[in-house]
Amino acid sequence: MSMKSQRGKYLRTEKHRIKMSESQKGKKLSEEHKRKLKIARKGKKPSLGKRWKLSEEIRRKMSLSSRGKPKAEEHKRKLSLDWRARFKSSNTANNYFRVFQNV
Highest mean pLDDT, choosing among 9-13, 35-39, 59-63, 75-79: 35-39
Mean pLDDT of 71-100: 72
SS3 content of the chain, % helix, strand, coil (to 5): 55, 5, 40
For the cut 90, the answer to whether the pLDDT of residue 55 exceeds it is: no
- The Cα–Cα gap between 16 and 38 comes to 28
Mean pLDDT of 4-12: 66
- Domain spans, the chain: 56-99
List of residues 6+ apart from 1 with CB closer than 8 A: 13, 16
Q: What is the pTM of this model?
A: 0.31
